[in-house]
Structure 1
Amino acid sequence: MKQYLMLTNEELKRSWKIIVSVVLALASIEILTVVGRVIYQERQVRNYMSDAKVTESEALRSFGKLSFEQASSYFSYVIMIGIVLVILYAIQIWYRDWFGESKYIYRLLLLPGGRTKIFFAKWTSLALVIISFIGLQWTVIQLSYAIFNWLIKDNYRESSSLVLSDTLKQLYTMNGMDLLVFIILALFIVSFLFLLVLLERSYRKAKGLLFIVLEVAALFTIMMGGLYIIETLNIFLRHETAGIMVTIFVLYFAYTIWKSLRLLKWKISV
């Protein structure tokens, strides 16, 4: 346990500068898009008033009032960038150990005790990054909403309530179960990426690529095939169908971790 905690701390220390820089950059972009959207709206109204010689209320009727949902419309794109960066980090967290100047992977593999702690130290660091990203993103939304209300004039604002776009609503429902499901799905993707990386590192070249293709095909076949069979048979109730799919998902989740641990123990060598 002590080694596992030390390795987790080491993983976070090696990446915290990049992680903090990326998070601050994404948060800044989101806040600036809100500020820019408010300024652009007010400038459009003023220019229209000047050109068309109309009153402010008439200009607002033409352009419409601005809501926070409209001002934060670019947030979903920024979040997608964040998700892509997390996926890249899940791959980079392994490959940097092989391709770094010090070949850090050799030190890890030669540590006393089992190699399970290496896997779970990296897995835990990704879990902490994902949870932190979700929490910080919600903080940015709240901060952006406060800035939006502070900048915009009351008569330019459509609503004083916090309304999010459909994409953001799916991510930030403030429902504990929905949030838990989202985190579990994110950790499954991380585990699956870990498995693909370890397959490539275990077999290398064409054989490793073949195993990766087979693993991806197996995942697609299991999920889509299972869903197709259930819908074709049409003998299960909705909650029974959901239960079967969740069971398949949990079993495959466990398989990805088990397979990764076996590869790390028996196939990865120094």
Structure 2
Amino acid sequence: MSKVYMDRTDQEMYKNQLSMSQYIEEHRVYPFHRFIESEWFLLPIFFSIAMLMIYVFFIWYRDWFGKNTFIYRLLMLPTERITIYFAKLTTIMLLVLGLVTLQILLIPIENQIVNSIIPTDFQSHFSFYDINSLEIWGWLYPNTFTEFILIYGVGLIFVAVLFTAILIERSYGLKGIFFAIVYGMLSFGVFFAPILLNEFSSGYFYSLEVLLMVLVMSTIVLGSAIWIANHLLKYKIRV
């Protein structure tokens, strides 16, 4: 992105016989946002998110379909089986937070690379806080701790529901696929019920009331996912 910018800049300055100061007056200096909003920056993030989504399934199914069916060894450990569920759930969340942390570390490095290509006079001032204006960045890096808990809490619930759906499928075979789909639809239906209710009632509820209803439904969905998973691991999945 930086080299393309400099090539175009050189061509236009040469074509129109512009000095550096004249060019800067007529055009903007190179904004780092141009890189952040480009596919070179966004596609790797989306690719990583997609790989994490695949790993949500892979982290369970590899234990069943791997060379040594490792899941049976895990289930025979002298500890509560639900510990396996929490360990895999923690792994996914750590990978997500690792992705977020990696992007934070890469930003100043990428900015230095840009500054090494773009001459000083064409560089724009960049602050890490400036990128909050990018929509996807607001989801990855919430501005407040409350938003962080809400956004990543929703992600935790989503993964927990998927984990439980996988255990339902593993417990009941072909019928389990149908049961897992129904369970997933019911869980997300319960989770989004307060939001849909508020939409259909034309904003009848206050924002705080909607938030409290969402929190209650989230607790119900997460609690039921853990309870069902614990029941399946104890009584349905046999070694």
What is the Cα deviation at residue 231 of structure 1? Answer: 4.2
Q: How do 1:87-166 and structure 2 match up within 5 A?
A: 87-162=53-128, 163-164=130-131, 165-166=134-135
Separation in structure 2 between the aligned mates of residue 154 and residue 161 of structure 1, nearest angstrom: 16
Provide structure 1 residue ranges, at least 5 long, that are not aligned to the other structure.
1-36
Q: Aligned match of 2:8 in 44, 52, 58?
A: 44
The answer as to 2:235 corresponding to 1:269 is no
Percent of counterpart pairs with the same letter? 27
Counterparts of 2:117 and 2:80, CA distance in 1: 56
Work out whether residues 130 and 183 of structure 1, in 8 Å CA contact, stay in contact via their aligned partners in 2. Answer: no
- Hey, what does 2:28 align to over in structure 1? 64
Task: Report SS of the residue matched to 1:92.
Answer: helix
TM-score (norm 1): 0.77
Q: Within the alignment, does 1:229 sit opposite 2:197 as a pair?
A: yes
Distance 1:125 1:60 in 2: 49
Corresponding position: 1:255 with 2:219 = no
- Aligned-partner residue type, residue 262 of structure 1: H
State the 1:223 CA deviation. 3.3
Residues 188-207 of structure 1: pairs in structure 2 closer than 5 A: 188-205=157-174, 207=175
1:214 Cα offset (Å): 0.6
Question: Greater relative contact order (Cα 8 A, min sep 6): structure 1 or 2?
Answer: 1
- Do structure 1's residue 216 and structure 2's residue 180 form an aligned pair? no
Match of 2:151 in 1: 182
2:71 aligns to what SS in structure 1? helix
In 2 relative to 1, CA 177–38 (structure 1 residues): closer, same or farther, beyond 3 Å?
same
C-alpha contact (below 8 Å) 1:149/1:160 kept by paired residues: no
The gaps in structure 2 that reach 5 residues or longer are none
CA contact (8 A) 1:90 1:190 kept: yes
Q: Decide whether aligned partners of structure 1 residues 98 and 259 sit closer, same or farther in structure 2, where only a CA change above 3 A counts.
A: same
Residues 31 and 123 in structure 2, CA contact (< 8 A), matched pair in contact too: yes
- Rounded Cα–Cα distance in structure 2 between residues aligned with 1:264 and 1:55: 72
Q: In the comparison of the two structures, how many residue pairs are matched? A: 233
Q: Distance in 2 between matches of 1:144 and 1:107?
A: 44
> Residues 167 and 235 (structure 1 numbering): CA distance in 2 closer, same or farther, change over 3 Å?
closer
CA contact (8 A) 1:115 1:264 kept: yes
